[in-house]
Amino acid sequence: MTLTGASALIARAGRARAARTARDRRRALATRRVSQKVQNDDVGVPSASSSDPDVRGAVWLARSHDLRMRDNEAFISACAEARAVGGVVACVFAWSERDARESGGARRAWLAKALEALDRDLRRTYGGGVSMFKGEGAEGAMRAARAIRATRVFASKRYEPENAEADERASVEMAVRGVELVRTRGFLLFEPSEVRIDVAARDGYFGTLMPFVHAAERTCGDPGKPKPAPVDVRMVDLGTESDHEWEQIGLEDLGVAPASDRRVDWSAGIRADWDISEGGAVETWSQFTAVGLDRFEAEHGRADPEAGVTVSRLSPYLRFGMISPRTVYHDLVKKDGKNISKTFWHRLYRRELAYWQLHHWPDLPKTSVRSHYENRAWLSGDEADEALRRWQRGETGFPVVDCGMRRLWRTGWMHQTERMITATFLVDYLGVHWTRGADWFMRTLVDADEAINSMMWQNAGKSGLDQWDFFEGTLAPDGSARAHDPHGDAIARWIPELAALPRGYLRHRPWEASKATLAECDVELGSTYPRRMIVDLDRARQRMLDDVTTIRHAELVRAGGLVKPGSMEDLVVAPRAAVVRGAADLARVSTRKEFKRSLKALKASIAGIDLPSNPSSKPHGKSRANASRPKVSAASRPKSGPRSGRLPAPDRDAVRASRREAKRLDAAFRGRVFHHLPVDDLDDRDAAPPRVGRRPAR
C-alpha cells in the first residue's frame, strides 16, 4: 500500500474512532441519567431473596422471535425460577410505537395470529395466557414484576444492533429498580461473537458459507439438545389475580394487526396459506422431513405447484421462534440429514452466517460492506421511483420476475430462487439501489429478518461478502433459465392473464408468441399484460458491469488498498473479533470473475496492451431471440442519465498516473500483512438513499 493510501486509511480510522468515542460517551451519560431518574422516582421492587415469602414468581417477557413453549430458554428459566420460590409465571408481550413503525404489514398479520395461538396454548396448558402491554418492553416487564413481586425477568436475547442496545439500557434501568433482566440464548445455534474465522486456512473466501461452517463447528461445537416444554407450573393473567399495577388489554387493543386495507388483506392471504401456531410449525417440519428432505437436494430449486413438497417453508416459523433451530438441527442429526442433503444442512448455517455478519457489520442493512462500493452510481429521481413501483407491483413485463413479486404480494412469501431473480433484476438491470429492494422485502415478507434480508440484498448489490459468482444465465429475467418453473405453472397461477398460453417457454417469454397465439389466448402485450421494461438486457447488464468496474478502478488507482493488483480481487478489513488471532487484517472476499476480467481489461487498455477477447463472454441467455434483440426504446427503458454507455477513455495524465500507481501497488502487495483496523474505521458514512414510504395501489 502506498504512503498516500495508508494515510487515507489511518485518517478515516481516526475519524471513525473519534465518532465511536463520542457515541460511547453519550451512552454512558444516558445511563447515568436513567439511574439518577429511577432513584429519584423511588418505584423499585423491594429487595428480596429467593426465600423471601413476598417473592411470588417470575416474568417471561415474550418477544416476536420466541413465540413457543418447547425449547424456549427464557420461558423454561422463568418456570424454574417460579418453582424455586413457590410462585407463578406471568407472560408479558409489549408492543411499542417503534415496533409498529418498523414492522411491515405481512409480519404484523403473522404476529397477531401467532400471539393469538400462543395465548390459547398457554391457557390450555398452564391456566394463564399472554398479558398484553402497549409500550416499551422494559416498562411492561417492570410493571409485571411489581404486580407479582418478582425480582427477575427472563427474555430471549436480541441480536439486531438497535434492539441489543435497547436491551442494554433496559438492563441498567431495571437493575436500578431492583429487577434483573436475564437474557437467554435460543434464537440462534451459535453466538455470533464466538465464531472466529481462520483467514489463513484458505478454505474459501472470507465471510462466505464454508469458512463460516468450519469456524462454527471448530469454535462452538454442538449447540446442545432441545428441551421439552415445562411442566407443573401455574401462569397468571395480570390484572386479574394480581393487583392494580397492571391494566389488562386485549390483542385487538394492542394494535399489532395491520389496519384494514382495500388494496390487500394481508391476514386473509396468510391465513389461507399457513397454519400460524407452534403446532403448525411442528407439523410443517414433520411433513418436510417425512416427504421433502429426500427430494430437497435434487429439487429444492423448484417453485412450481406441480413440484409438491420440495422446500420446507420453515422460514417464518424460525423467524417468529415458533420452532427452535436446535430442534431442526438435532432432528436432522437423528435422520442423518447432513448426508441426505448437504444443501439443506448448510441452510441452517447460512442463517447463522447472516447474524454473524450483522454482529460485525452493524450497518449491514444500509452501508456497503465493501466500502468502496458506496460510490457506485444508481438510478435516481422519478425514473428510479417508477422502476421500483413497476417491480413492486409485478408489472415489469418479465413473467419470471412478476410471478415472484405477485406471489409475495398475495402470500407474504417467495421461493428462494424467486427472491434471487427479482433482486438481481432490480439491481443489475434496472439499476435501482439495493437498499430500496431490501426495504420492500422487509415490508412485505412474513419471514422478513433484518440480518438475512440485509445479507441477501448486500450480495445482490455486489457490495456484500458474496457476489453470487454463478450468473451465466441462472438468474436471467428473460426466461432462458426455467429450471425452477419448467412448464410455467407458477406463472399461470400468479399471472392468470398468461395462463391460457401453452405450457412451456411461451409463458416465460410471451413476446416470442405469434400474434395469432396471443390473440387466441386473449393476451395483448401492453394492455392485458405489460410490455417488457427493458428490451436490450445485454446492454443493461453491461451498464452494471461498467459501474462496478469504474468504482473498482478508482480504488485501484487511488491505492486505497481494497482492490488487490494482479488478482484484481476485492479486499475488506476483517474485524478483529471475527478472525483468529494473528490473521492478516485485509481479507480476500469473493469477487465475480467478470468483474476481475473487466478490470484487467481496463488496466491493460490504459497501458496500451491488447488482451485476447474472452471466449466465455456471450449474449445474454441462450434463446434464438437474443442474437437480434432490438435495442430498448426510450419510452420503455428507464434512463440511466450520466452513467449510461461504456466507460470513458481516460486522458493521458490519468494513464500515466495509473501506470505509476500500478507499479507501486504490485510491489506493495507482495507478502504484506496489514495492521489491525476495526471494520467501521474504513468508512463512517451511514446515509442511505431515499426509500418508498407507502405501498403502491393495486
Known binding residues: 344, 447-449
437's CB contacts (< 8 A; 6+ apart) are: 388, 391, 422, 423, 426, 427, 457, 460
The CA distance from 250 to 263, in Å, is: 27
% helix, strand, coil for the chain, step of 5 = 50, 5, 45
Q: Which amino acid is at 407?
A: R
Contact call for residues 109 and 267 (beta carbons, < 8 A): yes
> Annotated binding site for FAD, which residues?
344, 447-449
187's CB contacts (< 8 A; 6+ apart) are: 65, 66, 156, 157, 158, 159, 321, 325
HSE-CB at 7 with a 13 A cutoff on CA atoms is: 4
Instruction: Look at residues 577, 555, 444, 521 and name the one whose alpha carbon lies nearest to residue 106.
Output: 444
Which grid cell is 349? 448455517
Number of neighbouring beta carbons within 10 Å of residue 424: 22
Beta strands, E only, 18-126: 57-62, 88-95
Instruction: Look at residues 354, 368, 361 and name the one whose alpha carbon lies nearest to residue 208.
Output: 354
The CA distance from 492 to 500, in Å, is: 8
Contact call for residues 396 and 94 (beta carbons, < 8 A): no
Contact call for residues 145 and 179 (beta carbons, < 8 A): yes
Q: Give, as one character, the DSSP assignment of residue 93.
A: E
Q: For residue 642, report the phi and psi dihedrals to the nearest 5 degrees.
A: -70, -10
The CA distance from 475 to 350, in Å, is: 20
SS3 of residue 225 by DSSP: coil
Cross-strand partners of 234 = none
The CA distance from 590 to 592, in Å, is: 7
The CA distance from 116 to 111, in Å, is: 8
Number of neighbouring beta carbons within 10 Å of residue 676: 14
The CA distance from 238 to 236, in Å, is: 6
Which grid cell is 280? 403448525
Number of neighbouring beta carbons within 10 Å of residue 62: 28
Contact call for residues 438 and 464 (beta carbons, < 8 A): no
The CA distance from 497 to 617, in Å, is: 36
The CA distance from 30 to 24, in Å, is: 10
Contact call for residues 61 and 75 (beta carbons, < 8 A): no
Task: Give the pairing type, strands 57-62 and 88-95.
Answer: parallel
Contact call for residues 446 and 107 (beta carbons, < 8 A): yes
